[in-house]
A and B are shown apart, each in its own frame.
Chain A
Amino acid sequence: MIHPLILIAVFVVSTVLGYFIIRTVPSLLHTPLMSGMNALSGVTIVGAIGATGIAFLSGDGWGAQVAGMAAIILAAVNVFGGFGVTHRMLMMFRKKKSEKLKKLTGVIGS
């Protein structure tokens, strides 16, 4: 088990580093940034997988197993949905290469 102080130190360092790096993102990209962060907040899936796996292996009650499966599904929706949406948005910021595609997205969008 990792010592609590190390964990707290990791939290502080990553928060400070994150703060200064994210400051360089222009407001133009704030929505994709936020939805990207959104996807990253699904990182809790790592915890969910670990806890659920152990619950299964050690034969904990079905309550813990169901809760764990729910946590994994929620977090996975968060991760895959978040990154997918971010990707879609960022692609819109790129200039469209083909005129056809432009028209197509225009039709779908409206």
Chain B
Amino acid sequence: MDFYQIIISSVLAATVLLGISMMSRVRTAVAGNFLSAVALLTGIGVTLLFAGIITVWTLWVAIATGALIGSLLAQRVKMIQMPQMVALFNGLGGGASALVGMMTLKGSMLNVECLMFNVAAALLAIAVGMVTLVGSLVAAGKLHRVLPQRPLVWKGHTAVTLLLLAVTVAGIVLGTLNAQWPSPFRGSEEGVCQLSIIIVAAASSLFGLYFSVRVGGADMPITISLLNSLSGVAGSIAGMAIGDVFLVAVGGIVGASGLLLTQIMCRAMNRSLLRILLPQGVNSSTVNSQQSTVNSQLEQRVMDLEKRIQELEAIVTKLEERVQKLQDREQSTPPLEGAGRGSAQSSSSVLSSAKDVIIVPGYGMALAQAQHQVRQLADKLESRGARVRFAIHPVAGRMPGHMNVLLAEADVDYEKLYEMDAINDDFAKTDAVVVVGASDVLNPAARNAEGTPIYGMPVLNVDEAPEVIICNYDLKPGYAGVDNPLYTRPHGIHLELGDAKETLTRLIAQIG
């Protein structure tokens, strides 16, 4: 049975790999995803069959319940909520792996031949799984804005983090020793086993909390990729604990994928993983608790205000639509919103005459949910004969490929989306650039402002363009906190501040 199991698992794992390789092209990606799903479902069926548990009906109930919830979530989620969705799913996978680890230790699945390996793997699965679960929940909370977005640093953060890691390791060692050489624990093996599970689960959960709570909003692409990797590794280790080849293989693939994405994100931000996960020395230790409580109160108020603003904005948008309709009817009347905004006129005239335009979207576009307006602008410009392309920085947004998904949602042809390296030389040759909610990824200071967080980070060469129209909410520096010298360039800068949705709607109307 072992032999067949290995063969079938290898074939299924290879099918999963094939499915993934098909995801490298848009044309084959849908089929690739489908293939991976089929391989996974087959794997579930094979497990049911081989373990001789296909008749246990309660299992089917559990699977159906999860499938129903999952499918509903997948259908209902808005594209704008995708980062927190991904984070949440990561956490669920990790949590399930941790539970598998616990069951292996508590149940009758322990393998007496290689007990030590078994127990160590099960405890490790609990540890990695719980870190993934708690870390992901915190990340999802931050992305969903129920938790403050900025990094939270608690008293003795680094020390506590390292201590928790040490306790986790100690718990694993304790449990493993207890299984292999029970003599010192004679009579209380069961209790020690239970204790080690509790120690590992508690310490690793706290570790997950400590490490993800100090990650700020803009570092989220890295954190999510890392958690993605961890959720795979947790599954793989759980697979080792129960001796399932398919689980080990697929978990390994997921782990590799997450690691690769983490690496790409780190390179694109010019940051090392350690600097994000561990506090940056002096800076953090000077933050006292009083300050942080004041900050968190402020944060709360800001969040409340933001909510209120969003509600008001929705009303304003509706009103503006009505105004727009009325204006369309009465064409001789000049645009109402344009009054008193001198720069708007010039922005629209720049765009009216431009033959080659590059649009640079950022997280601000996601916040304002302005992707549909961005597409309308592109359509408008194209209908006037201009060539429109989109320049996508690898870390624009809150997860890898965030901008691409949002623009795809708005039906922008993916062939118009260019990676940074493919389009960076073209900024100098273009007529105009429209920046929508992006700051750090085009900050020329990254090239020469030594000592700032963004120094050395590859940026889009927006500053080489003759005319730049900036549709940002305000002129505050981006997440990195470094002023953008581009905003104060004496020529060819058109600032269109405020909500990107409104700004773009106005611009589109003005281009005529």
Contacts and interface: CB of A to CB of B under 8 A. Distances in A.
B46 to A, nearest CB: 8
B240 A54 contact: no
Given A34-B86, A84-B74, A45 B228 contact: no
B106 A64 contact: yes
B249 A10 contact: yes
Contacts of A110: 369, 372
Interface string B5-49: 110000001001100110110100110011011001001100110
A93 B26 contact: yes
Instruction: From B13, B16, B109, name the one whose CB has the most chain A CB atoms within 10 angstroms.
Output: B109
Interface string A12-47: 111111110111111111111111111111111111
A79 B103 CA distance: 20
Interface in B390-427: 392, 394, 399-402, 404-405, 408-411, 413-414, 417, 419
B419 A27 contact: yes
A32 B369 contact: no
Contacts of B242: 47, 50-51
Contacts of A79: 37, 40, 66-67, 70
Contacts of A28: 26, 392, 401, 404, 414, 417, 419
A89 B405 contact: yes
Would you call the interface of chain A mostly helix, strand, loop, or mixed? helix
A22 to B, nearest CB: 5
Interface in A64-84: 64-65, 67-84
- Lowest 6 CB-CB distances: which A-B pairs, in order? A76-B66, A84-B74, A53-B53, A30-B401, A80-B70, A81-B70
Would you call the interface of chain B mostly helix, strand, loop, or mixed? helix
B404 A31 contact: yes
Given A40-B253, A43-B247, A76 B62 contact: yes
B507 interface: no
21 contacts: A15-B255, A22-B256, A27-B400, A32-B23, A39-B40, A40-B16, A40-B253, A41-B89, A41-B93, A44-B96, A46-B247, A47-B100, A54-B108, A57-B52, A67-B102, A71-B103, A72-B66, A73-B62, A81-B85, A83-B33, A106-B372
Nearest to A71: B99
Contact of B410 (A45, A56, A106): A106
A80 to B, nearest CB: 3
Contact of A91 (B13, B30, B47): B30
B258 interface: yes
Contacts of B503: none
B250 A40 contact: yes
B70 A76 contact: yes
Instruction: From B62, B85, B259, B409, name the one whose CB has the most chain A CB atoms within 10 angstroms.
Output: B62
Interface residues of B, number: 120
B212 to A, nearest CB: 17
Given A29-B404, A31-B404, A56-B56, A49 B244 contact: no
A55 B103 contact: yes
A23 to B, nearest CB: 6
Contacts of B258: 34, 37
A19 B259 contact: yes
B23 A34 contact: no
Given A75-B93, A82-B74, 10 more contacts: A18-B256, A33-B23, A34-B257, A34-B258, A44-B235, A46-B47, A58-B107, A67-B103, A77-B70, A90-B29
Interface stretch (B75-83, B149-157, B273-281, B282-290): B75-83
A12 B253 CA distance: 9
Given A48-B96, A69-B62, A76-B67, A37 B400 contact: no
B36 A40 contact: yes
Interface stretch (B110-118, B166-174, B456-464, B481-489): B110-118
B253 A14 contact: yes
Contacts of A43: 40, 43, 235, 246-247, 250-251, 254
Nearest to B97: A44
Contact of B74 (A25, A54, A68, A85): A85
A100 interface: no
Given A41-B228, A44-B100, A78-B92, A64 B29 contact: no
A80 B108 contact: no
